[in-house]
Amino acid sequence: MSDDQIRRQLLRHCLATLAYRGGKAIRDTPPGFAKFRAAPGSRSAGEILAHVGDLFDWAAALVEGRHFWEDSAARSWPAECERFFAALARFDAALAGKEVLDATAERLFQGPIADAFTHIGQIAMLRRLAGAPVRGENYFKAEIVAGRVGPDQAPPVKEFG
């Protein structure tokens, strides 16, 4: 396996990890959660999830050599959840392909991917503040597989409490 293939595979595993953790954070939220904010003037959960979708639209553009950014208005929670997984799938497909990427794996990780992990953590924190915490888990034991970036994820192996 070439260095480029190894890097792409690691990025694909990162996306699968994001899909797994993100799926836990966005699934089974309480009614009205999309509008929940930690404080006045902060982003709502729905606005944060819309931003994550924007990050992966940007990531897909970067690998094609386009420097594109657009701030999207938050849609309904179900629409944003669908967009989250669809955006991950598009980006994963680009990484799985044979085309030369117009951005390095390192830059893709440090930009859109790392930022998305931060925002999924924010959504998880908002869940706790809203009284609907995400169950903790030993993620080292989770069944996360590169390419599995949709809403259908393996069940948790070892959750806490």
For residue range 37-89, list pLDDT tens digits in order: 999 999 999 999 999 999 999 999 999 999 989 999 999 999 999 999 999 99
d(C-alpha 108, C-alpha 8), whole Å: 10
Please check whether residue 158 lies inside any domain of the structure. no
The CATH number linked to 119 is: 1.20.120
161 vs 13, 18, 136, 137, CA distance in Å? 27, 22, 7, 9
Q: Is residue 70 one of the residues assigned to a domain? A: yes
Residue 120 included in any domain: yes
Q: Structure pTM?
A: 0.95
pLDDT at 34: 98
Residue 150 within a domain: no
Total domains in the fold of the chain:
1
pLDDT at 127 over 80: yes
Q: Could you tell me if residue 154 is inside a domain?
A: no
The answer to whether residue 63 is domain-embedded is: yes
User: Which pLDDT belongs to residue 119?
Assistant: 98
> Is 153 within the bounds of a domain?
no
Residue 109 domain boundaries: 3-30+40-141
pLDDT at 161: 74
pLDDT of residue 140: 97
In a domain? residue 159? no
* 56, HSE (Cβ side, Cα atoms, 13 Å): 27
* Amino acid at residue number 35: K
Q: Which of 93, 11, 18, 88 is nearest to 57 (CA)?
A: 88
Q: How many CB atoms lie within 10 A of CB 141?
A: 10
